[in-house]
Amino acid sequence: MGQASSAAACAHGVDHEEEEEEGEEQEEEKGEGEGVRSLLFSGMDLTVFAPDECLAAVFQKLELSDRRQCSLVCKRWYRVEGQARQRLSLQACVEIGLALPALLERFQHITKLTLKCDRKRCSIDDDALCVVGRGCQQLRKLKLKACKGLTDQGIDRFAKLCGSSLRKFSCGSCQFGPHGLNSILQHCANLEDLTVKRLKGFKDSSEFILPNTSCSIRRLCLKDFPNGQLLVYPLIAQSKNLHTLMLSRISGNWDLLFESISVHMASLVELHIEKVMLTDRGLQAVACCTNLQVLYVVKPSECTNKGLSAIANGCPKLCKLHIDSWKNNQLGDEGLATVARNCKDLQELVIIGLNATMSSLSLLASNCSSLERLAICTSDTFGDLELSCIADKCLALKRLCIKGCPISDRGMEALVGGCPSLVKIKVKKCRAVTPASVEWLLTNRVSLVVALDTSPTTVAPEAQVRPVQESNIVRENAPVPLTRSPLARARFAMAVVACTFMRWSASNGS
């Protein structure tokens, strides 16, 4: 008994000591907080004690407009904000050419630069682009849009100046052609991302796009080439490390091209095909990419269930599948059922103009247990029965979009007890769905967000329909929250940083 009582007394003493230490720590923290507040309200500018690194870290947390206003406070903030800036977007009109040296001298550590010009105005010329090449030695990403004053010679000079650091190059609605693009590919050995849209220099050119022997491109996006299929063929074929390929509105038959390059695209993971001449033969060639996980097929010329089934059989790792059949009645249940049987890891499915029925949707809901996003648009066969099947079996579904389908309030009622993981549902142009069913649905599932638009012609902005709750009512005597200007917020943040820095310095010195 004596030993037990002594042990209990010791334990009680230890607990008492711990409580005293915690109380002392809380008092110290409270005192430090009061000290910071007193210094802030004393009128002293504590930002002078904060190092430049801390000041730059605070600037990076601000929005762009707030950051610009803060840079005009004093010379030090102006200098630090310029050195910490890594992204810059400029209106690339011809008048900015004279100001470029001063701008680039201020922003010496730019890694991402966007030069965008209005199509009705004259853009910068080759000399201005060379100034950019000399002033931005750390440039990793460059985007050119509607810079009609640039030629192949200017692109060639720029590529020689900063080709070693460039990782991403994007151009659209420019005048240069294959020669300038070849200069980028030859001198930028570390280029990983290339986007080319609407280059007018391709119209009257027959020069092929030939990448470097050590081509390291992982993402390639090509759009709006009138006669560019044969010109870009060597670029696609020699990109051995290609991860993402996006093709849109490029003339020519792509079946033969996919058959010839599918063997070299074993590393392809994401493929976007939009408005190109493609048939089942081309889809069968794409099916050889066994590592494919994301596939977008938008408005192909001639594709049937046979091509879609070939994709499902050859690419079992598919996670995202978007199909816009463009009123093609040859795509339907048969191809979708094959996808449901073989692509069991499917997480996102978007079908537009594809008439899916119970036979394929039931199989899809049963086999694809990881399906989180489903969008069904312009389907004449998707009604209340099909929606009830989705509600009963898709347990992991989080987002549901239904547009232009013959569903009604009866089908919406099935969502009250179904799809337990559902977060948001969007219903557009479904005339039989009324706001009353939406209100009743939200009454039973308060956390659900519903966007309803029953107009067949106009698209109304998304609105979250919710019953009025006590927490949403603003009371008359409620205190009005204080709002601070961007400058006040920045000063407050840097004052706290300065006080913390001074406290650390004092503790290290002691």
Q: Give percent of the chain with pLDDT exceeding 90.
A: 43
425: β partners: 400, 450
Contacts of 307 (CB under 8 A, 6+ apart): 279, 280, 281, 282, 283, 284, 335
Q: What average pLDDT is seen over the chain?
A: 81
pLDDT score recorded for residue 344:
93
CATH of segment(s) 253-371:
3.80.10.10
Half-sphere exposure of 304 (CA within 13 A, CB side): 4
Closest to 462 in 3D by CA, of 453, 471, 470, 454 = 453
CA angle 436, 438, 444 (to 5 degrees): 105
Q: How far apart are CA 67 and CA 129, in angstroms?
A: 26
Q: Tell me if 87-239 shares its fold with 253-371.
A: yes
pLDDT score recorded for residue 462:
39
Backbone angles phi, psi at 142, to 5 degrees: -130, 130
| Beta carbons of 330 and 305 less than 8 angstroms apart | yes
pLDDT score recorded for residue 149:
92
Q: In the predicted model, what is the mean pLDDT of residues 431-456?
A: 87
pLDDT score recorded for residue 227:
66
Place of tokens 């800036």: 85
Token representation of residue 287 = 């099916």
Q: How far apart are CA 201 and CA 208, in angstroms?
A: 12
Judging by beta carbons within 10 Å of its beta carbon (0-12, 13-18, 19+), is residue 420 exposed, middle or buried? exposed
Q: Is residue 482 pLDDT above 50, yes or no?
A: no
Place of tokens 């001198």: 187
Closest to 301 in 3D by CA, of 272, 326, 270, 329 = 326
Contacts of 317 (CB under 8 A, 6+ apart): 290, 291, 292, 293, 343, 345
The residue extents of the domains of the chain are 47-84, 87-239, 253-371
Domain 87-239 CATH (choose: 3.40.630.30, 3.80.10.10, 3.40.50.1980, 3.30.365.10): 3.80.10.10
Token representation of residue 102 = 């001063």
pLDDT in tens, 399-414: 999 999 999 999 999 9
Q: How far apart are CA 139 and CA 110, in angstroms?
A: 6
Q: Is residue 1 pLDDT above 70, yes or no?
A: no
Higher pLDDT, 503 or 327: 327
The structure's pTM equals: 0.77
Q: Is residue 213 pLDDT above 80, yes or no?
A: no
Annotate 107-144 with b (16+ C-beta within 10 A) or e (fewer).
Answer: beebebbbbbbeeeeebbbbebbebbbebbeebbbbbb
Least confident of 166-180, 310-324, 337-351, 482-496: 482-496
pLDDT in tens, 44-53: 666 777 787 7
Token representation of residue 122 = 């004259």
Token representation of residue 22 = 């915690």
Pairing of strands 270-274, 244-250: parallel
Pairing of strands 87-91, 168-172: unpaired
| Beta carbons of 209 and 232 less than 8 angstroms apart | yes
172: β partners: 145, 197
pLDDT in tens, 195-211: 999 888 777 666 777 77
CA angle 355, 360, 365 (to 5 degrees): 120
Closest to 115 in 3D by CA, of 476, 106, 477, 133 = 133
Confidence of residue 86 (pLDDT cuts 50, 70, 90): confident
Q: Is residue 506 pLDDT above 80, yes or no?
A: no
Judging by beta carbons within 10 Å of its beta carbon (0-12, 13-18, 19+), is residue 399 exposed, middle or buried? middle
Query: Is 47-84 a domain of CATH 3.40.1050?
Result: no
Place of tokens 């200098």: 79
Q: Is residue 4 pLDDT above 50, yes or no?
A: no
Token representation of residue 204 = 């009257």
Q: DSSP secondary-structure letter at 457?
A: S
Q: In the predicted model, what is the mean pLDDT of residues 491-500?
A: 60
Contacts of 36 (CB under 8 A, 6+ apart): 495, 496, 499
Higher pLDDT, 302 or 479: 302
How many other CB atoms are found less than 10 A from the CB of residue 427? 21
Q: In the predicted model, what is the mean pLDDT of residues 233-243?
A: 85
Q: Is residue 263 pLDDT above 80, yes or no?
A: no
Three-class secondary structure of residue 93 per DSSP: strand
